[in-house]
Amino acid sequence: MSKETPSQTVGPFYSIGMTRQPMNLMASASTQGERICIEGQVLDGDGVPIPDVMVEIWQANGYGRYNHPDDKQEKPLDKSFTGWGRSGTDAKCFYRFETIKPGPVPGNDGAVQAPHINVVIFARGMLVHAFTRIYFADEPANGDDAVLNSVKNKARRKTLLAQRGERDGKIVYRFDIRLQGGGETVFFDM
């Protein structure tokens, strides 16, 4: 007599195996650029914060150059900035990065992309990671960004915009990620 294999979700293991070492402090005292913090929560379809989520980001430096061998731009490379970070959610389901605001990077056909941060979300039960971008709501170059403007629905486009605030004299951008339902964050097929 055979039995069916019980279903099993992915995780919980992000906080145990992948976020033990802090990897969310991306800017040191010698890193060049405007220091910022990015923080938020990952929410389910009902707007409830999800525990045990890992958020990973990668970005260009303050000049708009990636710390990657394929980026051959003649812009300065800041050796003190890797451009990559990982944050697990804390007890209140918040992720947080201390980084710098990225500079604009080249896009297709010689166009320039507005400063942005690439994001991937890993969460319990998600067999496929979710990819999105963080743009800065106060950035004038957003109006000319081809990727941002490819989202025709303006309400959906706003889900890609981090809102600027200040706390204890530091610039803090709030960026909540909603995985489904009303106000779902725009995700990209990568």
- Residues 68-97 have pLDDT tens digits of 999 999 999 999 999 999 999 999 999 999
Cα–Cα distance, 18 to 187 (Å, whole number): 23
Q: Which CATH number fits domain 14-178: 3.40.50.970, 3.40.50.10320, 2.40.110.10, 2.60.130.10?
A: 2.60.130.10
Burial group, residue 43, by CB count within 10 angstroms (0-12, 13-18, 19+): buried
DSSP helix/strand/coil, 160:
helix
The amino acid at residue 183 is: G
Which pLDDT value is given to residue 190?
A: 72
Smallest CA-to-CA distance from 135 within 157, 158, 113, 162 is with 162
Rounded to two decimals, the pTM is 0.88
Regions of the chain with pLDDT less than 50: 7-8, 12-17, 19
Neighbour tally for 166: CB within 10 Å = 9
Element (H, E) at 173: strand 170-174
